[in-house]
């Protein structure tokens, strides 16, 4: 098995970083190259996930503040609209006796 450094599809960048030109669908030299390629991709995926996680942790305090503000605004709106609701009238989800087919008695009509 050849090492990646010895392969012509591996180049060294000016900063000492390795640049892999291999493509698992067209120009793999050895079967072990696919396993190495998968490890490299997995490492890249992990690095991007960790970056996203750090970003979300930085955003958490601001999101909490925003949610508290939105909750406070919604409570203010609800409180401001309380005057519209009459406490004597049953809520619309509770059917009245007339809707159930029950007739009022003479005593209830007066």
The string of pLDDT tens digits covering residues 18-60 is 888 888 788 878 888 888 888 888 999 999 999 999 999 999 9
pLDDT at 98 over 60: no
What does pTM read for this prediction? 0.50
75 compared with 96, residue with greater pLDDT? 75
Check residue 46 and give its pLDDT: 96
3-state secondary structure labels for all residues of the chain: CCCHHHCCCEEECCCCCEEECCCCCCCCCCHHHHHHHHHHHHHHHHHHHHHHHHHHHHHHHHHHHHHHHHHHHHHHHHHHCHHHCCCCCCCCCCCCCCCCCCCCCHHHHC
Summarize pLDDT for 61-89 with one digit per residue, the tens.
999 999 999 999 999 998 888 877 766 65
Check residue 81 and give its pLDDT: 83
Instruction: Find the mean pLDDT for residues 7-24.
Output: 83
Check residue 107 and give its pLDDT: 57
């Amino acid at each position: 098995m050849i090492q990646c450094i010895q392969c012509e599809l591996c180049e060294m960048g000016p900063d000492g970083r390795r640049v892999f030109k291999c493509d698992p669908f067209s120009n793999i030299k050895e079967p072990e190259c696919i396993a190495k390629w998968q490890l490299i991709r997995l490492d890249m995926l992990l690095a991007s996930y960790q970056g996203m996680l750090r970003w979300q942790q930085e955003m958490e305090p601001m999101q909490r503040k925003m949610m508290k503000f939105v909750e406070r605004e919604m409570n203010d709106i609800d409180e401001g609209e309380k005057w519209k609701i009459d406490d004597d009238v049953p809520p619309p989800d509770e059917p009245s006796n007339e809707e159930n087919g029950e007739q009022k008695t003479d005593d209830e009509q007066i």
